[in-house]
Structure 1
Amino acid sequence: MNAAPGIPRSRRASERNRLDPFVVSGGDASPRDQRDLMERPFFSLAKTKRTVPIFYEAGDVRVEVFGMPDHGMATIWDADVLIWAASQIVEAENLGLTTSRFLRFTPYQLLSSIGRQTGARDYGLLKAALTRLQSTVVATTIRNGQNWRRQQFSWITEWEICASQTGRAAGVEIVIPEWFYRGVIDRSLVLAIDPAYFRLTGGIERWLYRIARKHAGRQRAGWTFEIAHLHAKSGSLVRVSDFAIQIRHIAARQSLPGYRLGIERDGARELLRILPADLSTIPVDNHVNGIGISHATLIGTSHAGLSGLRTHESQLSLWPETAIPALNLSNLESNSYVDGAGRLADNGPGPSVSGPKARGDGP
């Protein structure tokens, strides 16, 4: 079959040919995260390139993540792109606008919304992040209905950066996978998160906030995890003992916005208790005023030295044929928890993650 005239060869088999674009005309939207991504190990927590796969299993839930040797696995900082996309889709849906898996936006909209700089280096880091998101392969049985079904996809199906005549990145087109899009338009599978999340600099620290928001939420009794089980849920390559040290440092800093952390002992088990910081004034889906860490790492920064004790430091219309719409303003897997009476309950041993010992997730 001949391609339609005027369509470049690279676009002939593109999903963008059959999807209506969702043109993001604003940028500011309350940040939302997807529940499935918050509680399972879908991303590398390291700032160095990771190619060791993630294998995670709990009950009938399986997650497998593979990074390509050339680029490595998508990181938890790269996941900011998905959080931003989810936030824009939810905001537009709330306003009754039509959304799509095919998003058009400017790099400035994305970077400024997640607290990043907008210089040439930052656009280069965004390009590297998009490359890792596309090259990472995910296979999971989550949301498989009554029958077991394994779904496989990449975080971004395809992407393109449009450059101006000066070479400056001026527009971005991305297509997100159906699995992720369905998890965003289903409101029961989305949670509001604190904007201070984007200022958290450590991989484990960022992952721990998402775990706290997903499990502890605004429950007065909070939630308690065995640290060894948290290690399995994280997919981290650091040793359990090193992971525990980093969790203790995060608890000592009290750096998670909206939550207070405490280390406890139950015999030989070391536990982390997560409690909401203030239940009396803040509704569940409103922003909280937490302690944020400044000097956030930029998207996709890799090969940076790490330490468990310190941190690292107007819509442009590019597509004249498309009108820009109105501005978009508007567990089972936990092995322990604290019940309503304050008693510690146990759900049995947690899952395991395979892979060699390594360093580099950061707190």
Structure 2
Amino acid sequence: MSHERAARRPRTYLNIDFDKKDHAKRHGAQWDVQRKSWYVLGDVPAELVNYVAPDPLQASLGRLHARVAEAEERAKSTLRRPPPGDEQADFFVPTLYDVATKDSRSVMDVAVFRLSKKDKRAGETIRYELTDGYVEVKAGPDGMASVWDYDIVMMAISHLTEAMNRYRNGRGEKPGLAFRPHVSEILKFCRRSDGGRQYEEIEGALDRLKNTTIKIVRTTRKGRGSRLMREAQAEGLIGNYKTVSYADTGRVAMVEVEIPGWIYREVVEAENPEVLTVHPAFFLIEPGIGRFLYRVARRAAGKGEARWAFRTIYERSGSAGTFKEFCRILRGIIAVNDLPEYSLSEIPGKEGPTLVIAHRDAVPSIESAQAEGG
């Protein structure tokens, strides 16, 4: 019976070096021939506590718990991790800009791209009604350009703005419509990894950008007593493009993109061009809705504060999901509250729940302070 009780007692394995084996034996340690390790049965004597080996199962569970905690922490953030080598400045990366002049304001107020990675929305049209007209986003057969595809457009805006700044300062020639970035520069600028799959995605992104057209219709009356005029203008998110790839690997060696006229006119030909600087972490915002919120906030809130009813944000986002699902995602982003530069909060409003986006350096309004204080 005593042998059976001993067999049922738990074994605790020890990390014992050869020169400590006599010390272990004196305090009841036994040798396991199969595992080639010393162990004790039952309670571990005080003299051997410092030699206890980690439990493999517990160690494995500990590592699993650590990975789960890390995954949960990442899930709480709207920002993905920067890719490896992100800090290395292999190429000239200009300040990030977006257009913000009067003619582009309608484009910045609505989503001229899809916010979902899964739903390609090929052949679909999104229409946004505005006070003086409407904006239509029409997708081609390859699908509607996504907010992540639009990174390439923002890169073109940024390079064009930098080139114009040099031209105005007498340090360079006036830029043309052709934009020739190195493909690695595109990935670097958009803060994405330099993997083979990313190279394959460049051409797909360019197809969607070229075949997604933006039609802006405005109705205006110029001067007192003049007739009401309707003006319509439609262009792609980019013009023509050309790529050259290595036939054996499929990797892109050269990219040439034609900057669309609506961008060129606003950055190069406008008398007083107005462009907005954008935080570099914009490219790390993972949810499409988060990117849309930042872009709208950058124009409307600036260094202060702006408010929109949830319903208004939903309608301007062009979301294909339900309003209920949109609100769930939006409240998740508000709870995390880690968008670059801007803090998010929800307050009640006349038209239902209202989103408040405020620059983190701005003085909060009385209503926002009261809402935060409960």
Same fold (TM over 0.5): yes
User: 1:135 aligns to what?
Assistant: 211
The C-alpha deviation readout for 1:128-180, integer Å capped at 9, x for no partner, is 10010111122113698954311112112211112246553111111122112
User: 1:243 aligns to what?
Assistant: 326
Kindly indicate whether the alpha-carbon contact (under 8 Å) linking 1:64 and 1:140 is maintained by their aligned counterparts in 2: yes
User: 1:154 aligns to what?
Assistant: 236
Aligned-pair identity (%): 30
User: 1:232 aligns to what?
Assistant: 315
Which of these residues, 254, 275, 282, is aligned with residue 190 of structure 1? Answer: 275
Q: Which amino acid aligns with 1:216?
A: A
Deviation at 1:211, TM superposition (A): 1.2
User: 1:276 aligns to what?
Assistant: 359
User: 1:27 aligns to what?
Assistant: 92
Kindly indicate whether the alpha-carbon contact (under 8 Å) linking 2:136 and 2:216 is maintained by their aligned counterparts in 1: yes
C-alpha separation in 2, matches of 1:26 and 1:230: 37
Deviation at 1:188, TM superposition (A): 3.9
Deviates more, 1:248-257 or 1:159-168: 159-168
Higher helix share: 2
Kindly indicate whether the alpha-carbon contact (under 8 Å) linking 1:263 and 1:273 is maintained by their aligned counterparts in 2: yes
Which of these residues, 67, 81, 92, is aligned with residue 152 of structure 2? Answer: 81
- The 3-state SS of whatever aligns with 1:149 is strand
Deviates more, 1:260-269 or 1:135-144: 135-144
Which of these residues, 144, 163, 169, is aligned with residue 92 of structure 1? Answer: 163
Which of these residues, 264, 284, 289, is aligned with residue 199 of structure 1? Answer: 284
- The 3-state SS of whatever aligns with 2:230 is coil
**Which structure is richer in relative contact order (CA contacts within 8 A, separation 6 or more)?**
1
C-alpha separation in 2, matches of 1:53 and 1:161: 28
C-alpha separation in 1, matches of 2:266 and 2:109: 14
Deviation at 1:26, TM superposition (A): 5.4
CA, structure 1 residues 31+268, in 2 after alignment: closer, same or farther (shift >3 Å)? closer
C-alpha separation in 2, matches of 1:268 and 1:139: 29
RMSD, matched Cα:
2.5
For the pair 1:114 / 2:190, whether they are aligned, the reply is yes
Unpaired runs of 5+ residues, structure 2, are 1-89, 223-228, 369-374
Deviation at 1:254, TM superposition (A): 0.5
Q: Which amino acid aligns with 1:31?
A: L
User: 2:201 aligns to what?
Assistant: 125
CA, structure 1 residues 127+165, in 2 after alignment: closer, same or farther (shift >3 Å)? closer
C-alpha separation in 2, matches of 1:99 and 1:132: 25
C-alpha separation in 2, matches of 1:111 and 1:27: 12
Which of these residues, 22, 35, 45, is aligned with residue 115 of structure 2? Answer: 45
C-alpha separation in 2, matches of 1:191 and 1:246: 27
User: 1:223 aligns to what?
Assistant: 306
- The 3-state SS of whatever aligns with 1:117 is coil
- The 3-state SS of whatever aligns with 1:174 is strand
CA, structure 1 residues 144+130, in 2 after alignment: closer, same or farther (shift >3 Å)? farther
Unpaired runs of 5+ residues, structure 1, are 1-24, 281-337, 344-363
C-alpha separation in 2, matches of 1:202 and 1:33: 19
Which of these residues, 47, 66, 72, is aligned with residue 138 of structure 2? Answer: 66
Kindly indicate whether the alpha-carbon contact (under 8 Å) linking 1:65 and 1:137 is maintained by their aligned counterparts in 2: yes
User: 1:262 aligns to what?
Assistant: 345
C-alpha separation in 2, matches of 1:268 and 1:84: 37
Deviation at 1:204, TM superposition (A): 0.6
Q: Which amino acid aligns with 1:212?
A: A
Deviation at 1:262, TM superposition (A): 0.6
Q: Which amino acid aligns with 1:196?
A: A
For the pair 1:212 / 2:316, whether they are aligned, the reply is no
The two structures have a TM-score, normalised by structure 1, of 0.66
C-alpha separation in 1, matches of 2:180 and 2:220: 30
Q: Which amino acid aligns with 1:28?
A: V
- The 3-state SS of whatever aligns with 1:150 is strand
Q: Which amino acid aligns with 2:292?
A: W
For the pair 1:181 / 2:264, whether they are aligned, the reply is yes
The C-alpha deviation readout for 1:113-137, integer Å capped at 9, x for no partner, is 1101122211111111001011112
The C-alpha deviation readout for 1:326-348, integer Å capped at 9, x for no partner, is xxxxxxxxxxxx9x8869xxxxx
- The 3-state SS of whatever aligns with 1:183 is helix
Which of these residues, 163, 168, 186, is aligned with residue 251 of structure 2? Answer: 168
Deviation at 1:50, TM superposition (A): 1.1
User: 2:335 aligns to what?
Assistant: 252
Kindly indicate whether the alpha-carbon contact (under 8 Å) linking 1:41 and 1:54 is maintained by their aligned counterparts in 2: no
Deviation at 1:27, TM superposition (A): 3.2
